[in-house]
Amino acid sequence: MSETEADGQRGYCILPDGTKVDEWDYFRENWDKVPSEK
């Protein structure tokens, strides 16, 4: 989901519990949990 705000466009993720989080904040907090390709 994305929204246009005064400082530009922002992307959001809606988590299964209904929480709305900034997509880049979520990525930065969880990037190390993604399995790596080998």
Read off the pLDDT band of 2 (50, 70, 90). Answer: low
The pLDDT value given to residue 20 = 94
Pairing of strands 20-22, 8-14: antiparallel
Determine the Cα angle at 33 with ends 29 and 38, to 5°: 135
Segments making up each domain of the chain, as ranges: 2-33
Instruction: From residue 13, give the alpha-carbon distance in Å to each of 26, 32, 35, 36.
Output: 8, 18, 20, 22
Mean pLDDT to the nearest integer, 14-27: 93
Mean pLDDT of all residues in 26-34: 82
* Whole-number Å distance between alpha carbons of 19 and 9: 19
Rounded CA gap, 34 and 5, in Å? 29
Give the global pTM: 0.56
Query: If we measure between CA atoms, which residue out of 8, 13, 9 comes closest to residue 28?
Result: 13
